[in-house]
């Protein structure tokens, strides 16, 4: 298996051999050899919604930001408020460029001695370079008066494996392997404890819309913990799940995927991520550009829609309103939960109201589509 884009062999997570032994269909994703499915995307999707699924997310990026200037730096580097977080809290945030474009969407964890940033796998090198640039560019326009030497950024990606268990039976399964009080780990909280004898950061910040946990562990703990979880979850129907079902699960929740729905050409306001943009902060990278866009009016918005005819939305398909192209599809699939084709895409702001009738062009024909409000599937 070769990464054709980079001309190199994809990296392997510590669980690669487990996936192959389980009969997973492997693909290259973000420079890694990853399982796209085991028993089938639809079956795995439905198992996560009804029972529990186990995901290898060891390809994700993890960085630590520490030092006496870490809190001020993080407050400037991301759009959400993070300096006031307490140990054990996590928050979703966006890293922006000065023009408001999204460098990455991340989850920030506040630990005792540092901030842990969890980033998208495809953006690891870019994110580290950007954060280091911001650190070295102090004091910069709009930046806090902090000495760059007071901020230490470390890439922990190769030192960290990540396993997620998602679904309504997740807590019951995980409780068999840890003494941690999981009921006290509320959404976007975490504890550090042992799971099946291995040290882990246990968080509740999933990407499927279901209840669940993420386990950040040392790479050497990945295989024994993976096996222990599958054994403990057998009575509850726990199965390994690939990237295919992970994508349909997040799409049903209308969670954006970096590289599809958000990137450096889109802003958090256009993407509907206003809730993580805190304009009352003294300053953050991209604030002035986002304030201008807010005040002048967002020109386009990311919407969810359902097709009202036969077809499957795919990235890049044109969207029309009143016979005029008004946007493009960014993500789409047949929803396994609904049995209906659903999608997301950017359209002109005037066409973003729920109930607006659109048309999606697919292979020369136009299929009616209706803008919907909220998630496609409610938990």
- pLDDT one-digit tens code per residue, 171-187: 999 999 999 999 999 99
Q: Which helix (H) or strand (E) holds 59?
A: none
Percent of all residues in the chain with a pLDDT value above 90, rounded to a whole number: 93
Architecture of domain 61-158: 2-Layer Sandwich (3.30)
Tens-place pLDDT, residues 39-67: 999 999 999 999 999 999 999 999 999 99
Hey, what's the torsion of the CAs at 257, 259, 265, 266, to 10 degrees? -10
Q: Is the pLDDT of residue 140 over 70?
A: no
**CA distance to 68, 74, 138, 281, per residue, from 131 (Å):** 16, 9, 11, 19
310-314: long-range contacts, CB 8 A cutoff, minimum separation 24: 310/367, 311/341, 311/360, 311/362, 311/367, 312/341, 312/362, 313/341, 313/342, 313/343, 313/345, 313/360, 313/369, 314/362
Q: Is the pLDDT of residue 110 over 50?
A: yes
Q: Where in the chain are the domains?
A: 11-58+160-252, 61-158
pTM, full prediction: 0.94
Q: How far apart are CA 43 and CA 379, in angstroms?
A: 18
Name which residue leads in pLDDT, 1 or 180: 180
DSSP three-state, residue 28: strand
Q: Residue 267's pLDDT band (boundaries 50, 70, 90)?
A: very high
Q: Is the Cβ–Cβ distance between 313 and 359 less than 8 Å? A: no
Architecture of domain 11-58+160-252: 2-Layer Sandwich (3.30)
Neighbours of 224 (CB within 10 A): 13
Question: In whole numbers, what is the pLDDT of the chain averaged over residues?
Answer: 95
Q: How far apart are CA 2 and CA 240, in angstroms?
A: 24
Q: How far apart are CA 95 and CA 77, in angstroms?
A: 6
Q: Is the pLDDT of residue 199 over 50?
A: yes
User: Which residues, in sequence order, are CB contacts of 268 under 8 Å at separation 6+?
Assistant: 79, 94, 96, 100, 102, 262, 274, 276, 277, 290
Looking at residue 72, what DSSP letter applies?
H
């Amino acid at each position: 298996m070769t990464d054709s884009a980079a001309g190199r062999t994809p990296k392997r997570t510590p669980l690669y051999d487990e996936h192959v032994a389980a009969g997973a269909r492997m693909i290259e994703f973000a420079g890694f050899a990853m399982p796209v499915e085991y028993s089938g995307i639809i079956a795995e999707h439905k198992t996560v919604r009804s029972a529990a699924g186990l995901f290898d997310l060891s390809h994700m990026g993890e960085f630590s930001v520490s030092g006496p200037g870490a809190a001020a730096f993080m407050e400037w580097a991301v759009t959400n408020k993070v300096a006031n977080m307490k140990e054990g809290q996590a928050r979703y945030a966006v890293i922006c460029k000065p023009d408001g474009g999204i460098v990455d969407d991340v989850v920030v964890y506040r630990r005792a001695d540092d901030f842990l940033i969890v980033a998208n796998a495809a953006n690891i090198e870019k994110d580290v370079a950007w954060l280091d640039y911001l650190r070295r560019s102090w004091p910069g326009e709009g930046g806090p008066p902090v000495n760059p030497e007071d901020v230490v950024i470390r890439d922990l990606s190769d030192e960290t494996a990540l396993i997620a268990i998602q679904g309504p039976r997740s807590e019951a399964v995980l409780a068999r392997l840890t003494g941690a009080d999981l009921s006290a780990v509320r959404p976007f909280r975490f504890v550090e404890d042992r799971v099946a004898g291995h040290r882990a950061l246990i968080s509740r910040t999933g990407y499927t819309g279901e209840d669940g946990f993420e386990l950040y562990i040392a790479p050497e703990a990945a295989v024994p913990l993976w096996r222990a979880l599958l054994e403990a979850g057998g009575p509850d129907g726990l199965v390994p799940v690939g990237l295919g079902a992970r994508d349909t699960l997040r799409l049903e929740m209308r969670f954006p995927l970096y590289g599809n729905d958000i990137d450096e050409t889109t802003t958090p306001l256009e993407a509907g991520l206003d809730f993580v943009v805190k304009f009352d902060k003294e300053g953050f990278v991209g604030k002035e550009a986002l304030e201008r866009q807010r005040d002048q009016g967002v020109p386009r918005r990311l919407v969810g829609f359902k097709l009202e005819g036969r077809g499957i939305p795919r990235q890049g398909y044109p969207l029309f309103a009143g016979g005029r192209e008004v946007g493009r599809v960014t993500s789409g699939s047949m929803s396994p939960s609904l049995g209906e084709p659903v999608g997301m895409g950017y359209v002109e702001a005037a066409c973003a109201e729920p109930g607006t009738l659109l048309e999606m062009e697919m292979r020369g024909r136009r299929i009616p589509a209706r803008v919907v409000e909220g998630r496609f599937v409610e938990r």
